[in-house]
Structure formats: C-alpha cells, structure tokens
Chains A and B, each alone.
Chain A
Amino acid sequence: MTSRLTRRQRRRISQGVQYAVFVAVLVLIGLGADWDRLQNQFAQKDLASELFPDIITIALRNTVVYTVSGFVFGLVLGLVIALMRLSSVAPYRWVASVYIEIFRGLPALLIFIFVGVAVPLAFPGTEIPGGTYGKVALGLGLVAAAYMAETIRAGIQAVPKGQMEAARSLGFSHARAMVSVVIPQAFRIVIPPLTNELVLLFKDSSLVLFLGVTLQERELTKFGRDLASQTANSTPILVAGLCYLLVTVPLSIVVRRLEARADKAR
C-alpha cells in the first residue's frame, strides 16, 4: 500500500528531477530564441575585429585609469572619514555620519551630474585638476569613500583593543599607535571587501559618459555605445561587455582567495 522509498531511491529521484528541470529550461531557451537574429545583431566577427586595438588601448585603458584614480581618491577620503567616525570630537563624528548617509543614499549618476555641473558653478574659474580624469576621480571617489569609510571603520574596530593598549603602554601616542599598529592590521582585514569595492567601481566608471568626454577619453561603455550607433549593430556592446568581464572575473577570484586566506589565518 505505502511504497516506502529507501534513502538512496529518494536521493536519485530528487536529483533526477533537478537535472530534468535544468535541461528543460536550456532546451526551451535554445529552441525558443532566434539565434540567427541575435548573431546578426551581436556577434558580427568582422565588426568585432575592427574594434581592436582601440577598444583595448583607449577604452579599456581609460576604464582602468578612471577606476584606479577613483579608488585611490576614495580610499584616502574613506580613511579620513572612517577616522572621523571614530573620533572623540563629536562634530567630526556627525560630519562623517552625514557624509556617509548622503553619499550611500544617492545614485552615483546624480553625484556625477553634480560634479559636472555644481562644482564649476560653485567655484567659478577653478578647474578640477586633471580635466575629465580629475572629475571622474572626484565623482567615483566621493561615492566610493562613503562605502569604504564604513568598511575601514569596521576593520579598525575589529583590531583587538589590546593592540592599542600594548602600543600605548610602550609610549606610542594615540595617533602614532593608529598609524603604526592598528591601521596596518585593519587594512589586512578589509582587503577582501575593498577589492570588492574595486569591482563595483570598475562598473560604475561607465557613468563617465554623462560628463561628456572627448574621443580619446571614452571608456568601454561609451565606446561600445558610440560604435554600436555608428554601425547600427550591437556587436561593440557585446565586446565591451566581454572586456569588463576580462577584469572583473579575475578580480572576483582574487577576492575569494583572499577571503579564504583570511579565514584560515583566524
């Protein structure tokens, strides 16, 4: 009457069902999509080969430069804000909290428009140094700093209290103990999340296209979009996408390795 299944039978059935669903979905997509049209629109080999070498030497290179400059600026500012958050001077803590809430709460796109429009208005005659590159570093860095500040603050607080006490008992001033003892240890803790932030920035650098850039200043997304509209074909978008993955996938693997190593060191 009741057919009782053994554990092995149950496992087989369960796995069989899961594989069946997986295959069914693949088949549906494979048969349902119009692959010829997709290939025409996205994977024209001759079009793709025309993109080189500019897509690497100009677009990818600019994406990297924008990302790195934004990251460095954001890291420095983020460290300052993290230290302000931990300050014993209350107004510093308030300013840091307000900064973090504002810049984490706004879309990065708005910040970019703000940097492109409001800064020149507010400080007439003063140019942001570095032209577009400076503006991008500022736009990306302002947003990244808010996230990194919270990460760095958590990292500093994760360093055991005894480290500061040991340093103070040896005669370090509070500031010197921070610089020589606490912050180096905090950075080891936050390297994986900061690398993650680098991946996010790498993608956010596409927002540069809202600043208005010259041909030589174009990064991957702008480059791909421009060429797609010139050729009336989307192949450049696909190639640009692959270029992003070329950088973000290895970075993600590095993050996972770092996290595994940090877990082991504990």
Chain B
Amino acid sequence: MSSMDRPEIEIRGLHKSFGDNEVLRGIDLDIGRGEVVCVIGPSGSGKSTLLRCVNLLEEPTAGQVFVGGTEVTDLDVDIDAVRRRIGMVFQQFNLFPHVTVTENLTLPQRRVLRRDKAEAFEVARRNLERVGLADKADAYPSQLSGGQQQRVAIARALSMGPEVMLFDEPTSALDPELVGEVLAVMRQLAAEGMTMMVVTHEMSFAREVADRVVFMDGGVIVEEGPAERVVGDPQQVRTRNFLMRILDPAAAEQPGDTTSERPAKEL
C-alpha cells in the first residue's frame, strides 16, 4: 500500500495504563494529510497521553500507531528517525535554557539532521521570521515572554521539517494576554496545510481552525466530528457538560445536576 492513500496519523485500538490506572481504553483515530484535529476533554481524560503516544514519549500498553505509513509502535522501528518527522510543542515550552534562541533551532538540525552550519542558520532564520521573532535570534530563552518562548518552540520544531505537528496544551501555561500570538502562529501553520493534532482548551481556536474536534473523557473518544457540530451542537451529554464548564466557568454546576439537558451556550 502506498503511503499516499493512507491517513497521516492512524491510531488503532490504543490502550495505555500507568500501573493499575487505565488512562486510554481503546482509541481509534485517523488524521488525514493537512487535517487539523483538536482534542478536547476534561483533565485526566487521557488526551495528553494520547498525543504523547503518537511520538512514543509514552509507550502504549496495547494497540498500534502509524505516522506517514510507518508503524511507530513497531519495536524494530528507528524511533529517532520517525520522531524527526513529528514536531512536538509542549505546554512548558521546554526550550534549551543554556543556549540562545538561534542555537535552540540550529542544535537539533546539526546534531540530528547533520546539516552544515550555514544551512542550519538559514533554516533557523527563516523559521524565526515565520513566527515573527527574527529580532530575538541572539536572546536567551529566559529573556523572552512565555508567548515568545512558545513561538520559538514552534519554530524549533518546524526547523526539522516535520510532516506532522503535535501540540500539547500549547497555551495553557501562558498569561491570557499572550495566548493570542501563539494561536496566530498555529492558525497560519494550519492555513499552510500542516497536519496538526492539538490538545487544547481554546474552544474558539478549535471552532475556527480545526477541521475536526475529538472530545475525550475517561480514556475513550466520546464524540468526534466537524468543529461546528462538536463544539456548537454537541450530541453527547458529557460533551455538553464539559463545554458548559469550559465556556462559562462561573456558572458552577449544582451537585447532582450532571445530566442537565441545558444546551451548550452559543459561542
């Protein structure tokens, strides 16, 4: 089978347990080339674990994951080679604090891809420009705001030329006024046709940018579909309750009111 007609990311019967705690209880999910999929759900629903299973930062207990037709979960696969094709952005940015912004981008290119100095610097410059931080090339990560650090982290992942980008709550550690600049970069990336899997609580982003939204709870996919349907007109009670809490945190839920039939508030 040629990799052309396969989805970019295929997840088959994925289970993951930490000791007795079963975090993922059988996940099946396909993400097509160029598709943007947002994964939403309450904390502890397993959404971050699912994302981390895609590039094997967590090893699944059972099931298979394919990226670009290569089985990530195959014990004989060169995992470092597969990971080069999968960019990942973390909640805590995880920039390398001991080197400059530019070196954050060139170090992986040179050590992992063996690019020569000139090429690595050129790629770094281009990607910093792409996220609007060309003027911070010589700064150290600690001198940047959270939003700037996260944009550098995106540029670092892009410098490796990935086919897929994974985002693990990329704006959750940011002050509210810095969220927008990061989402803007991600929106632009989506418009350029990048395949993206985004774990997020930003419902407006999910609604605007995502081709598909997946709602997870208790380690299973409860509901998935086009963003306007899952976010705008959820079919499942659990989805509706979750969206209500997210969209209107001040409206505390009454005890025993978890099956409330109130529709999700309009966005």
Binding site for B on A (CB under 8 A): 160, 162-163, 165-173, 176, 180-181, 184-185, 188, 265
Contacts and interface: CB of A to CB of B under 8 A. Distances in A.
B57 A169 contact: yes
Contact of B98 (A162, A165, A169, A185): A185
B55 interface: yes
Task: Tell me which of A170, A184, A188 has the highest count of chain B C-beta atoms within 10 A of its own C-beta.
Answer: A170
Given A165-B57, A165-B90, A171 B160 contact: yes
Interface in B107-151: 107-108, 111-113, 142
A171 B70 CA distance: 15
B117 to A, nearest CB: 15
Given A165-B57, A180-B107, A172 B94 contact: no
Given A168-B57, A169-B88, A170-B108, 17 more contacts: A162-B92, A166-B88, A166-B90, A166-B95, A166-B153, A167-B108, A169-B157, A171-B84, A172-B112, A176-B112, A180-B107, A180-B111, A181-B96, A184-B98, A185-B97, A188-B98, A265-B142
Contacts of A184: 98
A169 B92 contact: no
A180 B104 CA distance: 11
A97 B131 CA distance: 48
Closest 9 CB pairs of A and B: A166-B94, A171-B84, A169-B88, A162-B94, A170-B108, A171-B112, A171-B83, A171-B80, A185-B98
B86 interface: yes
A163 B97 CA distance: 9
Contacts of A172: 80, 108, 111-112
Contacts of B15: none
Contacts of B84: 170-171
B96 A169 contact: no
A172 B92 CA distance: 19
B112 A170 contact: yes
Given A184-B98, A185-B97, A185-B98, A170 B156 contact: yes
A160 B157 CA distance: 19
A167 B160 CA distance: 12
Contact of A171 (B81, B90, B96, B98): B81
Contacts of A265: 142
Contacts, number: 60
Contacts of B112: 170-172, 176
Contacts of B83: 168-171
Contacts of A170: 83-84, 108, 112, 156-157, 160
A265 B97 CA distance: 11
Contacts of A166: 88, 90, 94-96, 153
Interface in B60-83: 80-81, 83
A137 B128 CA distance: 48
A28 B92 CA distance: 62
Nearest to B99: A184
A254 B228 CA distance: 62
Nearest to A177: B111
Contacts of B88: 166, 169
- With most chain B CB atoms within 10 A of its CB, the pick from A160, A171, A176 is A171
B209 to A, nearest CB: 22
Contacts of B157: 169-170
Nearest to A185: B98
Interface in B167-186: none
Contacts of A185: 96-98
Nearest to B91: A162
Contacts of A168: 57, 80, 83
Contacts of B57: 165, 168-169
Nearest to A165: B57
A247 to B, nearest CB: 29
29 contacts: A160-B94, A162-B90, A162-B92, A163-B94, A163-B96, A165-B90, A166-B88, A166-B94, A166-B96, A167-B96, A167-B108, A168-B57, A168-B80, A169-B83, A169-B88, A169-B157, A170-B108, A170-B156, A171-B84, A171-B108, A171-B112, A172-B80, A172-B108, A176-B111, A181-B96, A181-B107, A184-B98, A185-B96, A265-B142
A160 B142 CA distance: 15
B174 to A, nearest CB: 16
Nearest to B92: A162
A24 B151 CA distance: 66
B86 A169 contact: yes
Contacts of B98: 184-185, 188
A166 B87 CA distance: 10
A184 B96 CA distance: 10
